[in-house]
């Protein structure tokens, strides 16, 4: 039985694609057969973050329209076994994603024995975002410690509770809050919303806090999901998040201001 997880946020630029890439890689690293799907029709980017942009032949919409089979369109990830990428289409046709079509792709992946299907949602609350969340069992809501992101996350939570298949059937999409671009130093000085503040406002169980980190940009530059950078704080935080998602109890890290030694303070 496949578990469908949407990575969503409402607001753009908070780290949905970075998170989808890291999350899917983390699941596959642990042996789960995983597919990660880019729902951002017209603005394909997951392929770049996953480093498979030059191997895109067919896309999500081709599969929906019957122009390619799932097998043809799925790209085997070169970094991680068990991981497959389904890129978004670059078409400008906004209605390319139909509920029926997306449902068929989900069924196809289920039949192929995928354990996890990670849906990378586009920003906004339009069709693409709606389709990304519709079939979800779980939702990872990515939030930055910043007013517009928190507000948009609350909007998205409202949609998860009303506009999904689970909601229509009287059930619930399991919600998980992932805070990204967190800066403990700025929280300590009172210029950034703290983790507790965000939790109090959104009232969703916390699954991880990813610190603001240079390694995220480096990872995207090279097309390597940041979770593979095991020495980086962001990579480690994403790894903790995946373990928690799979049911392990892992204490949160990177919440406190790092105490720098005298020499480090002098020389950075």
Contact track, another protein, 194-233, x by CB under 8 A? x--x--xx--------------------------------
* Residue 157 parent element (H or E): helix 147-160
CB count in 10 Å sphere of residue 263: 8
* Stretch 111-150 residues interacting with another protein (CB under 8 A): 146-147, 150
| CB-CB contact of 92 with 9 (8 Å) | no
Closest separation in Å from C-beta 144 to another protein: 12
Q: 221 by DSSP, 3-state: which?
A: helix
Confirm or reject binding of residue 154 to another protein (CB under 8 A): yes
Q: 112 or 154: whose CB is closer to another protein? A: 154
Q: 162 or 249: whose CB is closer to another protein? A: 162
The vertex-253 CA angle with 250 and 257, nearest 5°, equals 165
Contacts (Cβ under 8 Å, ≥6 apart) of 233: 211, 213, 215, 253, 254
Among 192, 227, 228, 242, binds another protein (CB under 8 A): 192
Closest separation in Å from C-beta 136 to another protein: 19
Q: 103 or 194: whose CB is closer to another protein? A: 194
Closest separation in Å from C-beta 129 to another protein: 16
Q: Choose the binding region for another protein from 7-15, 164-172, 184-192, 227-235 (rule: CB under 8 A).
A: 184-192
> Alpha carbon of 267 to those of 74, 260, 262, 263: distances in Å?
47, 10, 9, 6
* Number of amino acids touching another protein (CB under 8 A): 18
d(CA 47, CA 257): 34
Among 12, 13, 158, 205, binds another protein (CB under 8 A): 158
Q: Choose the binding region for another protein from 182-190, 218-226, 231-239, 243-251 (rule: CB under 8 A).
A: 182-190
| CB-CB contact of 177 with 143 (8 Å) | yes
Please give the structure tokens belonging to residue 177: 């809050």
Residue 205 DSSP label = -
Confirm or reject binding of residue 172 to another protein (CB under 8 A): no
Confirm or reject binding of residue 171 to another protein (CB under 8 A): no
Starting at the earlier edge strand, list the strands of the sheet with 3-8: 75-76, 83-86, 34-38, 116-120, 3-8, 138-143, 174-182, 206-211
Query: Which residues of the chain form contacts with another protein (CB under 8 A)?
Result: 146-147, 150-151, 154-155, 158, 162, 187, 189-194, 197, 200-201
């Amino acid at each position: 039985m496949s578990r469908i997880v949407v990575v969503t946020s409402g607001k753009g630029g908070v780290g949905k694609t970075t998170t989808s890439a890291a999350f899917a890689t983390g699941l596959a690293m642990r042996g789960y057969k995983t597919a990660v799907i880019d729902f951002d029709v017209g603005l394909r980017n997951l392929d770049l973050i996953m480093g498979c942009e030059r191997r895109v032949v067919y896309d999500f919409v081709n599969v929906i329209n019957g122009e390619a089979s799932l097998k043809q369109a799925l790209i085997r990830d070169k970094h991680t076994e068990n991981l497959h990428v389904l890129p978004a289409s670059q078409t400008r046709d906004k209605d390319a994603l139909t509920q029926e079509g997306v449902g068929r792709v989900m069924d196809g992946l289920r039949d192929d024995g995928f354990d996890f299907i990670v849906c990378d949602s586009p920003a906004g609350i339009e069709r693409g975002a709606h389709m990304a969340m519709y079939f979800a069992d779980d939702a990872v809501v990515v939030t930055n410690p910043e007013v517009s992101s928190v507000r948009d996350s609350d909007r998205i939570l409202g949609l998860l509770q009303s506009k999904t298949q689970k909601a229509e059937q009287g059930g619930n999409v399991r919600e998980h809050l992932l805070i990204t671009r967190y800066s403990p130093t700025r929280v300590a000085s009172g210029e950034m919303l703290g983790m507790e503040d965000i939790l109090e406002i959104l009232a969703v169980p916390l699954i991880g806090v990813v610190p603001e980190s240079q390694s995220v940009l480096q990872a995207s530059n090279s097309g390597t999901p940041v979770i593979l950078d095991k020495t980086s704080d962001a990579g480690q935080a994403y790894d903790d998040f995946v373990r928690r998602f799979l049911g392990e109890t892992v204490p949160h890290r990177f919440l406190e201001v790092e105490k720098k030694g005298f020499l480090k303070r002098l020389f950075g």
